[in-house]
Amino acid sequence: MAGIEEREFCFPDCIHLSQRYRCDILRVAQCVGEGCAFRQSETEYRLAYERWQKAISALSCEQRGKIVSKYYGGKMPHVMQEKK
Ligand code: SF4
């Protein structure tokens, strides 16, 4: 049976992997591994978030309003508020 050190070595660098080697976002018995389409490292997550913020800030107020009403129940999330 594999020890904890060996198990850590086998699992991918993914922010969704819990400390108990379970996936926090998918309904799978155990982590799918490197081939998982949802695997995301800390750096990948940060870069994706920055791209998302850039895309949101490029939208008009009207377009943002449509997104807010459809996905956020009409309440503007902090990250989508205009910077002053
Ligand atoms: S690699 Fe896939 S299955 Fe494993 S923790 Fe990440 S998202 Fe979940």
Indicate the domain borders of the chain. 4-74
For residue 49, what is the enclosing H or E element? helix 42-57
In sequence order, what are the residues at sequence separation of 6 or more whose Cβ sits closer than 8 angstroms to the Cβ of residue 77? 68
Report how far ligand 1's centroid is from the alpha carbon of 29 (Å).
11
Report how far ligand 1's centroid is from the alpha carbon of 16 (Å).
6
pLDDT confidence of residue 82: 62
Asked whether the predicted pLDDT for residue 3 surpasses 70, the reply is: no
pLDDT tens-place string over residues 51-63: 999 998 899 999 9
Which one has a higher pLDDT value, 78 or 27? 27
Q: What is the mean pLDDT of the chain?
A: 85
Which residue owns the Cα nearest ligand 1 atom 6? 39
Atom of ligand 1 nearest to the CA of 28: 3
What CA–CA distance (Å, rounded) separates 32 from 62? 40
What CA–CA distance (Å, rounded) separates 79 from 56? 9
With a 6 A CB cut-off, is 26 part of the ligand 1 pocket?
yes
Strand partners, 17: 23
pLDDT confidence of residue 9: 59
What CA–CA distance (Å, rounded) separates 73 from 68? 7
